[in-house]
Structure 1
Amino acid sequence: MTRLALVMIVKNEARCLGRCLESVKRYVDRMIVLDTGSTDNTVEIAKSFGAEVYHYEWQNDFAAARNAALEKSDAAWNLVLDADEWLVSGFEALSEANLPLHPSVASPPLGCVRVTNAGRNADEPDRRNYLARVLPRGVRYEGRVHEQPEIGRSRVHLPILLGHDGYTPEQLGRKKGRNEYILRAELEANPENGFMWYQLGREHLAYEEFAEAADCMMCAYRFVEAQSYERQEVVIYALVLLRLVGRHEEALALADAEQDNWEDVPDFFFAVAELYLEWASLNPEIAQDLLLPVVEGAWLKCIEIGEQPHLNCSVEGSGSYRAAYNLSNFYKILGYPEQADKYQHLGNQMRVAAMAA
């Protein structure tokens, strides 16, 4: 039996497949590539790296394709990558010491890796995305699109970083409409699937279709379970999107309903601060007494909580330097220079620490 296999599904990925395979080939024992109908030289590139190539008729179902690829593997562990991803660091987590041929427990957890998006502005804070990509033998996917491996299974974060360039404008343009078509088909069959509404909202957000994204995220909020993995993300995205499209009163009601549920999530309070600050600008007559104290308290709460890098979709700096810088500007505008200087200095220290981490 193989210890570790790379397992991929691909179609017309000649642009980037070689980069992916080159980054990982020395750390895996097999490379399995399932091609779903390429018309470029994707297959030839895969074979040139020594990958085993299989052919599969596409059925508009990502989970079915992932599972067909996994069926080709006999490995104790499967590393699942997309062609527009590549291994950046954390190679040691793929070693035999960490992923043994014979795991010590009967049901090992799924291994989550961090994915960072290429093309991001250097001054733009990074959003931490963790995806389950190191799968024990026998794990299979569910969901026609934005497929997930065994949703109820325990997960552990691995120190693996993947690069990803699928969200650059060029690549988004190439894929536009593909996922939305499948998501809407899924929702037509199951209109109360909160996870699919959430993913459709994310799809619209990627193309800056904010009004549609807000509608979808509020549908997700209605249907996702309170204890579900994506509930936190749904709430925060909904707050941000409702503000962006001017639905402030809905956002304020949502913040009020959820304020006791995310005491350890700085991103929630960061979104609340931005919401109340914008609402204050629209309602100056009540800003000083009722709204600005909430803004101040929310950003102070972010710093009190601190960075929570383990949280999926958390934004770097929400619990540290971004909140401190915003407080500095807040106090400067209100005419409190000593407080402004204090939080400017704190923000600088926090940013240096974040860059060194």
Structure 2
Amino acid sequence: MTRLALVMIVRNEARSLARCLESVRGVVDRIIVLDTGSTDATVEIARSLGAEVHHAPWPNDFAAARNAALDLSDADWNLILDGDEWLQGGAEALALLPPLGGGTPAFVGCGRIAEADSSGDMRVFAARLLPRGVRFAGRVHEQPATDLPQALLPLTIGHDGYAPAQLAAKQGRNEALLRAGIAERPDDPLLHYHLGRQHYIEGRHGEAADSFVAANRLAAPDLPIRLSLVVYTIVALRLAGRFEEALALVDAEQDNWEHAPDFFYAVAELYLEWAYRNPETARDELLPVVECAWLKCLQIGEKPELTGSIEGIGSWRAAEKLAHLYAALGLDGEAGRYAAMSRDMRAGAKVAA
């Protein structure tokens, strides 16, 4: 019986597959690669690095493909990575995984996805360690279909799939799968959320706002990605010029996010843009809201446990924004104080990292 296996589905991943497989050398006991139709050197690279390579036609369904790959594993634990990902940190935690059986409690392990581009400061957590027998559900942005508890592990997974060159190669594929999923399950807020994210990444802010608004309408208050959904909706509505809707959403949601600096940061950006468009009320009515929102971010502080949150929102980013605001208002003393605060906070964050 295998203790830990890497289980992958791949197609045309010659660019980055070696990086992924090298990152788990000595960490996993078995590497299982299910190729769904590569026409480049993916298969040869996988085999040269010790992977067992199997083949299956692409089923137009990510969960179905992942489950077919998992069916090939006899491991107690299965680590799930994509070809554009790599194990960046956390090998020690994987080494400590116990064999299952004999009353050993099972869980689904989550790690942090670290984007290797301009969005790399976002804290995104994903389920990537599955105990034997757990399978996925969902045509796209699939999730483990289990009631087992999820545990946040000290795993960091690098990812560069949102870099422009890689996005261009995927353009259209995820949208088509998401629309097919919505046709099957129109009341699933996660599908609307992920479609909104797809539009947002591609700069289609009006369509992103439509999808996020639909997701908000359907989402339960305890939806795990609710904070991310609300913040994305505010931002997309602002970028689409739909200020009245964004302001109404802020009013409806403000009592729910006293613990979330990202919400107040989005509020500050919204009111700042509204102030630019309404100079007659900017200084007396709108800019004070901007100031209070960024001060609220500093009051709350960093919240690294919140998925979708941005590093620095509760510290140096908010202080930097306040410095710029005070400088624009001619308050040089306050501007200098917050600029220094921002520099110190940023330096401290780098040391801690």
TM range (shorter): over 0.9
Q: Secondary structure at the match of 2:26?
A: helix
Distance in 1 separating the partners of 2:58 and 2:23 = 27
- Kindly provide the CA deviation profile for residues 76-121 of structure 1, in whole angstroms up to 9, marking residues without a partner as x: 11110000111122221111x2x1113786553221111122233x
Distance in 2 separating the partners of 1:151 and 1:224 = 20
Aligned equivalent of 2:11 = 11
Q: Is this contact kept in 1: 2:238–2:246, CA < 8 A?
A: yes
- Kindly provide the CA deviation profile for residues 32-67 of structure 1, in whole angstroms up to 9, marking residues without a partner as x: 111111122211211111111111221111001111
Aligned equivalent of 1:49 = 49
Q: Is this contact kept in 2: 1:112–1:156, CA < 8 A?
A: yes
The one of 200, 211, 222 aligned to 2:195? 200
Amino acid at match of 1:290: E
Query: Is 1:299–2:294 an aligned residue pair?
Result: yes
Where do 1:8-157 residues align within 5 Å?
Answer: 8-95=8-95, 97=96, 99-102=97-100, 107-120=105-118, 126-150=121-145, 152-157=147-152
Unaligned runs of 5+ in 2: none
Shift of 1:290: 2.1
Aligned equivalent of 1:337 = 332
Q: Is this contact kept in 1: 2:114–2:120, CA < 8 A?
A: no
Amino acid at match of 1:326: K
Query: Is 1:264–2:262 an aligned residue pair?
Result: no
Amino acid at match of 2:124: N
Task: Compute the TM-score of the two structures, normalised by the length of structure 1.
Answer: 0.95
Distance in 2 separating the partners of 1:105 and 1:148 = 25
Distance 1:151 1:296, change over 3 A: farther
Q: Is this contact kept in 2: 1:25–1:31, CA < 8 A?
A: no
Distance in 2 separating the partners of 1:107 and 1:201 = 37
Distance in 1 separating the partners of 2:120 and 2:338 = 18
Q: Is this contact kept in 1: 2:27–2:91, CA < 8 A?
A: yes
**Which range moved further: 314-323 or 147-156?**
147-156
Q: Is this contact kept in 2: 1:6–1:80, CA < 8 A?
A: yes
Q: Is this contact kept in 1: 2:100–2:106, CA < 8 A?
A: no
Amino acid at match of 1:296: E
Distance in 2 separating the partners of 1:342 and 1:138 = 56
Q: Is this contact kept in 2: 1:125–1:317, CA < 8 A?
A: no
The one of 166, 171, 174 aligned to 2:169? 174
Distance in 2 separating the partners of 1:74 and 1:103 = 13
**Which range moved further: 246-255 or 134-143?**
134-143
Between the two proteins, the alignment pairs up a number of residues equal to: 352
Q: Is this contact kept in 2: 1:320–1:347, CA < 8 A?
A: yes
Query: Is 1:214–2:209 an aligned residue pair?
Result: yes
Unaligned runs of 5+ in 1: none
Q: Secondary structure at the match of 1:308?
A: coil
Distance in 2 separating the partners of 1:211 and 1:106 = 49
Task: Compute the TM-score of the two structures, normalised by the length of structure 2.
Answer: 0.96
Q: Secondary structure at the match of 1:50?
A: coil
Q: Is this contact kept in 2: 1:125–1:316, CA < 8 A?
A: no
Q: Is this contact kept in 1: 2:66–2:136, CA < 8 A?
A: yes
Q: Is this contact kept in 2: 1:197–1:220, CA < 8 A?
A: yes
Aligned equivalent of 2:156 = 161
Segments of 4+ moved more than 4 angstroms: 103-107
Aligned-pair identity in percent equals 57
